[in-house]
């Protein structure tokens, strides 16, 4: 059965009228939700830890900023917009002691609730509003009168108004302009992790590097390998994004199409799909979450090493050199552009 897609007419901002929304964190998603909601007429305050670099940023954008504990006390709806592995400590020390009956906890990713690193009391609503795009895109689309498609989910609903609140929040950030689909915390968490690991981030970056290495090791110029395995990927992804895989194929040459349908299944073959199923199982049974939580508790040493090793890959030097001759890309340095909490 096809999912119902909720649009603007299905959501009403009155469910947030007269209420205070606290956004805990002012990073990618936090700043976008806060600004969009404010411009939609919602009373928004920001909760940040003492010494946060985001305090002055939030104040300059016109928000009242409080400690996390004070923001939770003042708010009716609390959006926990901090990293997955930071949520438990913030929740335990600042949110839980000030979370009273009738309030609503809101998340943009189901990790903490689904894997029970946070166990909320039964007398509060717990909802999910997850835009299917990064915060900076959520903000830009809203300012252009458009919206990023979003997901909503209900985990606890003692008030019997949780869905109305979730839809109102989604409308306030522009999500209902793009379309909203209802899901569950479990489904959102597991599909999101799988997509990131197997296709969007892990799968794509590994495929790019493997292709680059194959060409360079065969004696081809690194610059040629970069263009063929990384640079042109955006052009194809844009076509897929706009028109689907078949639409992309319509726009490429017959030779490219033949290579696509004949060779693609040799690269992403039955063995790759079998590995994908293992990855999904490890997400479903909690193995990935336990490993990630343990890595964080151990100081993220392996995590940092793998990131540092990746940053030293030859494709990064080649890309840095080539992007320098593309004027439209010179200002696109997004590293560390916004604090997360």
**pLDDT tens, per residue, the chain with 341 residues:** 778 999 999 999 999 999 999 999 999 999 999 999 999 999 999 999 999 999 999 999 999 999 999 999 999 999 999 999 999 999 999 999 999 999 999 999 999 999 999 999 999 999 999 999 999 999 999 999 999 999 999 999 999 999 999 999 999 999 999 999 999 999 999 999 999 999 999 999 999 999 999 999 999 999 999 999 999 999 999 999 999 999 999 999 999 999 999 999 999 999 999 999 999 999 999 999 999 999 999 999 999 999 999 999 999 999 999 999 988 775 455 554 444 56
CB 70 within 8 A of CB 45: no
pTM: 0.91
54: left (phi over 0), alpha (psi -120 to 50) or beta: alpha
pLDDT at position 335, please?
54
pLDDT at position 337, please?
45
pLDDT at position 328, please?
75
pLDDT at position 29, please?
95
pLDDT at position 301, please?
97
Q: List residues with catalytic annotation.
A: 109
pLDDT at position 241, please?
93
pLDDT at position 340, please?
52
């Amino acid at each position: 059965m096809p999912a119902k897609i909720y649009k603007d007419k299905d959501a009403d901002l009155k469910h947030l009228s007269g209420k205070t929304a606290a956004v805990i964190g002012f990073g990618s998603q936090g700043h976008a939700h806060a600004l969009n909601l404010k411009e939609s007429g919602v009373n928004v305050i920001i909760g940040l830890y003492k010494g946060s670099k985001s305090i002055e940023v939030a104040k300059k954008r016109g928000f009242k900023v409080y400690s996390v504990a004070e923001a939770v006390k003042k708010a009716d709806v609390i959006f926990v917009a901090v990293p997955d592995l930071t949520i438990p400590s913030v929740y335990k020390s600042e949110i839980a002691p000030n979370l009273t009956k009738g309030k609503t906890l809101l998340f943009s990713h189901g990790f903490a609730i689904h894997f029970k690193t946070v166990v909320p009391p039964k007398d509060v609503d717990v909802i999910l509003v997850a835009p299917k795009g990064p915060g900076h895109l959520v903000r830009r689309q809203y300012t252009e009168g458009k919206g990023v498609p979003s997901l909503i989910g209900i985990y606890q609903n003692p008030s019997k108004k949780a869905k109305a609140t979730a839809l109102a929040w989604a409308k306030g950030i522009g999500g209902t302009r793009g379309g909203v689909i209802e899901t569950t915390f479990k489904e959102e968490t597991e599909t999101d992790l799988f997509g990131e690991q197997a296709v969007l981030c892990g799968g794509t970056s590994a495929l790019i590097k493997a292709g680059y290495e194959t060409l360079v090791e065969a004696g081809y110029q690194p610059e040629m390998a970069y263009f063929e395995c990384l640079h042109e990927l955006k052009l194809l992804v844009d076509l897929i994004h706009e028109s689907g895989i078949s639409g992309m194929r319509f726009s490429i040459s017959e030779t490219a199409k033949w290579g696509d349908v004949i060779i693609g299944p040799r690269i992403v073959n039955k063995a790759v799909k079998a590995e994908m199923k293992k990855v999904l199982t490890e997400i479903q049974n909690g193995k990935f979450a336990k490993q990630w939580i343990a890595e964080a508790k151990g100081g993220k040493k392996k995590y940092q090493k793998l990131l540092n090793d990746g940053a030293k890959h030859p494709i990064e030097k080649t890309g840095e050199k080539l992007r320098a001759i593309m004027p439209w890309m010179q200002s696109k340095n997004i590293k560390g552009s916004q604090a997360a909490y």
